[in-house]
């Protein structure tokens, strides 16, 4: 190995391997936390914790009325829609189409596949755990499926964190990358909290959704970092420029 090759190898090792190890360690730790939380839920050990939080968010004299001003309920209802199937489907479809038009075929397919498989994973977890919706307080929105993990929390985390991570790769400045990722985390957090406030999920459902969604997004980011190019191939870019002449 020549000196140039050795320096190049050390540069790649320094740039990627520590980050890869940290990512893998985070995934392993997250899987452990998710497994423990699921086990505690199945054994009923978390019910008291969930009950205290749900009751604290309602007026003691009328559990059908949440704490806070009237406008807050409407705002939370709007926020929770950001994690609904309609909004996330439209967002994913539009971004996928944009990436296809931008000649970024690998990343377009990857984004669509990441969100779709995350959705399927959320559904599978719900079926396996089969936890009914909470009946501690009246629901402020209509729901019909199972409770654990929160689909809104998990799928919104998968969607917004995956999109945020992929978008951050294209940004030049670190401050912009931090903002993009922070925005994704913020959206996932407020959507999950909205489900608790509306009384349609136990807090542990939401915590599990965040954990599972973050794990999925982290795994997708690791795969994309290694195998999915963030830019269109030079030939595709040149062809696109030629079409516009």
CA distances from 86 to 33, 71, 83, 116 (A): 30, 23, 8, 13
pLDDT on residue 187: 92
Q: Which residues are catalytic?
A: 152, 201
Q: Does 13 have pLDDT greater than 50? A: no
| Three-class DSSP category at 119 | helix
pTM: 0.79
Express each pLDDT in 125-149 by its tens digit: 889 888 888 888 888 888 878 888 8
């Amino acid at each position: 190995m020549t000196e140039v090759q050795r320096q190049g190898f050390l540069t790649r090792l320094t740039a990627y391997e520590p980050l890869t190890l940290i990512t893998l360690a985070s995934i392993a730790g997250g899987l452990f936390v998710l497994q423990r939380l699921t086990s505690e839920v199945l054994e009923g050990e978390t019910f008291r914790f969930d009950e205290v939080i749900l009751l604290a968010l309602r007026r003691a004299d009328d559990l059908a009325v949440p704490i806070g001003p009237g406008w807050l309920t409407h705002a939370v209802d709007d926020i929770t829609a950001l994690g609904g199937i309609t909004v996330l489907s439209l967002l994913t479809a539009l971004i996928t189409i944009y990436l296809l038009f931008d000649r970024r075929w690998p990343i377009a397919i990857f984004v669509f596949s990441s969100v779709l498989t995350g959705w399927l994973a959320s559904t599978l977890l719900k079926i396996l755990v089969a936890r009914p919706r909470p009946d501690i307080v009246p629901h402020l929105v209509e729901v019909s499926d199972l409770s654990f993990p929160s689909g809104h929390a998990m799928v919104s985390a998968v969607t917004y964190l995956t999109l945020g991570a992929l978008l951050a790769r294209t940004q030049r400045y670190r401050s912009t990358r931090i903002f993009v990722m922070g925005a994704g985390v913020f959206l996932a957090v407020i959507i999950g909290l909205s489900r608790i406030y509306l009384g349609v999920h136990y807090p542990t459902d939401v915590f599990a959704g965040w954990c599972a969604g973050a794990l999925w997004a982290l795994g997708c980011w690791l795969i994309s970092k290694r195998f999915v190019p963030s830019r269109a191939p030079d030939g595709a870019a040149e062809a696109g420029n030629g079409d516009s002449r």
